[in-house]
Amino acid sequence: MLPLRSTLGFEDYIEYEELLEIEKSFLEWYKLNAADYDQYLPITFEILGCDEITERKKLYKALDIGLGQTVLEIGAGTGRDSIEISKLLGTSGILVAQDISPEILSICREKYKENYDENFQTEFVLSNAKKLPFPDGTFDRVFHFGGLNTFGDISSALLEISRVTKNGGKVLIGDEGIAPWLRSSRFGAILQATNPQYLNQPPLSEIPESSTDVTLQWFCSGAFYYIVYKVDKESLDTPNFDIEIPGIRGGTPRKRSDGVLEGISPELKLEIYARAKSIGLSRVEFIEQALKQYLNKTI
């Protein structure tokens, strides 16, 4: 996929005509606030009584980032995580820092020029998280923290993230979202009044089907969460839904799910159950045999 244009020196893969209103509004917000972003963000951790660096290091450890990996950072922002991730990857690893805001990503790039080892392998890409310009299975790890609540389509973004992650690779996503046991507390009420984003909940229902070993953890005094999961594109092929289940009902998991017929009268149902029991068949076996005999006679 070739970039559509160049924006502030970045290859720009964003299809602006397809942006949702929420994405457009946050793009405008980042444009107006990019220069002050780093000045105000630390206040969040101060309010929560947390050390920002300590809390962020918990995320890197949870994702098991290490030397030589290829890592995609979604929503790299001003690079508050990017440089630390590069240190963990070493000069043999690769970090791709992605964001939807050219103004924000410019700050990240400038930080690299000022602070990082020139031997680190780092690329900067401007794109939408729900349409990533990378081949399937490119990355060992995908990291995102702090912007999930601003995504216009979380489900599509997570599907894309899983697509570009190697089979067996890991993903971490996280953002504001007060822990359930704190939502009605004084602590929770104050945070919600300060920033409505704290009302958001972890998007567990949006995690792709090809995910295993899913864990959910709250941190930063219970005001933020992160989800870690492994991409296992073969996991859906492992269940065996055709094993016969012993017992009076019988059948297989697949038959019980996909073989439901039209309803019959309660009286007839009870008669079928009694007849099946009397001849030693499960209900499914009896119904299947009866239907097959009827169809053979009528053909």
pLDDT at 214: 98
Per DSSP, which regions of the chain are E strands?
A: 5-7, 10-12, 70-73, 94-99, 121-126, 139-145, 165-176, 211-219, 224-231
Residues 203-251: pLDDT tens digits?
Answer: 999 999 999 999 999 999 999 999 999 999 887 667 899 999 999 999 9
Cβ-contact 94, 65 below 8 angstroms: no
Tens digits of residue pLDDT in 69-79? 999 999 999 99
% of the chain at pLDDT higher than 90: 85
Mean pLDDT of all residues belonging to the chain: 93
DSSP 137-155: T-EEEEEEES-GGG-S-HH
pTM score, two decimals?
0.86
Closest CA to 162 of 102, 103, 233, 93: 233
Q: Other C-beta atoms within 10 Å of 292: how many?
A: 10
Q: Compute the distance between CA of residue 53 and CA of residue 188 in angstroms, rounded to an integer.
A: 23
Work out the average pLDDT over 246-260: 91
Residue 117 has pLDDT above 80, yes or no: no
Residue 263 has pLDDT above 90, yes or no: no
Mean pLDDT value across residues 18-39: 92
